[in-house]
A = this chain, B = another copy of it.
Amino acid sequence: MYKHTTDGLRTLLNIPDNYQIFFLSSATEIWERIIQNCVEHTSFHCVNGSFSKRFYEFSGELGKKAFKEEAAFGKGFYPEKFEIPAETEAICLTQNETSSGVSMPVADINKIREKNKEALLFVDAVSSLPYPEFDFTKIDSTFFSVQKCFGLPAGLGVWILNDRVIEKAKQLEAKKVLTGTYHTISSILSKAKDNQTPETPNVWNIFLLGKVIEDMNKKGIATIRKETEVKADMLYNYIKDSNNFSFGVEDPAHRSKTTIVANTAIPAPEVNKKLEQFDLAVGSGYSSYKEKQIRIANFPAYSVEKTEELVNALKKTIG
């Protein structure tokens, strides 16, 4: 099961041989293990929403020094506008902020790497993979959760990491930095070599993820990515023309293709009340934006036809 799932994922995302694939219990756990295993003193974080903020906070909670570049909710980052301190050991980017729908273009991630070649680069792609086509020569690690684009019940985080990350973890262990117990990188790696885990994992989800990936590979990643863009265009075009909705993310370059966020004049629960007759629903805004925004999960599980149906229903009842 382990091998079937990781082999399938290697094909789907075109992951090079010098990358390992680990199963953890959530992306939240992966944040913790990254800081524990790969940061002796200093991490750097781009913070523009609840999830990137939590990743940043973890570093401090684990006794490390965490730098941050902040952007307001709904705003993204411009690589040429900030500097990362030279002492940084780990750069932590959130490719897709699930809370605000702000996304970081792959080209910008690559620019950040070009300017900062020493530090390890970690990319949180919890709610966007398999959509973004990463250049794996420009990032050291990425990770995602199965309950977003892979459409499964929560409870599994998938961590993709290269030999540089493993080497850094080994250095920290050699220095007797406390890196954890069963989920140190070396402990997970020693089991992963035999397609096993150090603890009893979420076997059910590992199995199901393998099946979902099998389906995705049959469809082909190019088609999945193309369809994601077609559906995102349909939704954003509707928002642009709507009298009720407006873009949650101003800069078009930063608008997520998988997490479509719009400001709404009518409170979000009322939007859903109007959609009930069509047996359709959208997500509410995150936290304090609960009523003021809607979020539409543009995941591979939803077809182009289903998205068209949603747009038509919104046009009809809300305009």
A residues near B, CB below 8 A? 25-29, 31-32, 35, 54, 57-58, 61-63, 145, 147, 153-156, 178, 180-183, 198-205
| Set B27, B28, B200: member contacting A147, Cβ < 8 A | B200
| Set B62, B199, B201: member contacting A178, Cβ < 8 A | B62
| Set B35, B58, B154: member contacting A202, Cβ < 8 A | B154
Q: Is the CB of A155 within 8 A of B28?
A: no
CA gap between A153 and B200 in the complex, in Å: 9
Q: Is the CB of A154 within 8 A of B201?
A: yes
Closest B residue by C-beta to A187:
B61
8 A-B pairs in the complex with CB atoms less than 8 angstroms apart: A25-B26, A27-B200, A28-B200, A31-B182, A32-B181, A155-B201, A156-B202, A204-B205
Q: Is the CB of A178 within 8 A of B63?
A: yes
Q: Is the CB of B63 within 8 A of A202?
A: no
Which B residues touch A154, using CB under 8 A?
A: 200-203
Q: Is the CB of A32 within 8 A of B200?
A: no
CA gap between A276 and B25 in the complex, in Å: 36
| Set B31, B153, B178: member contacting A181, Cβ < 8 A | B31
| Set B54, B58, B198: member contacting A28, Cβ < 8 A | B198
Which B residues touch A198, using CB under 8 A?
A: 28
Q: Is the CB of B32 within 8 A of A182?
A: yes
| Set B31, B145, B200, B201: member contacting A200, Cβ < 8 A | B145
Shortest Cβ distance from residue A53 to the other chain B in the assembled complex, whole angstroms: 13
Which B residues touch A145, using CB under 8 A?
A: 200
Q: Is the CB of B26 within 8 A of A200?
A: yes
Q: Is the CB of B26 within 8 A of A180?
A: no
Q: Is the CB of B147 within 8 A of A26?
A: no
In the A-B complex, the 8 residue pairs with the closest CB atoms:
A155-B202, A25-B25, A154-B200, A28-B199, A153-B204, A26-B199, A58-B181, A61-B181
Which B residues touch A147, using CB under 8 A?
A: 200
Q: Is the CB of B181 within 8 A of A62?
A: yes
| Set B57, B180, B203: member contacting A32, Cβ < 8 A | B180
Shortest Cβ distance from residue A155 to the other chain B in the assembled complex, whole angstroms: 3
Q: Is the CB of B178 within 8 A of A28?
A: no
Shortest Cβ distance from residue A297 to the other chain B in the assembled complex, whole angstroms: 14
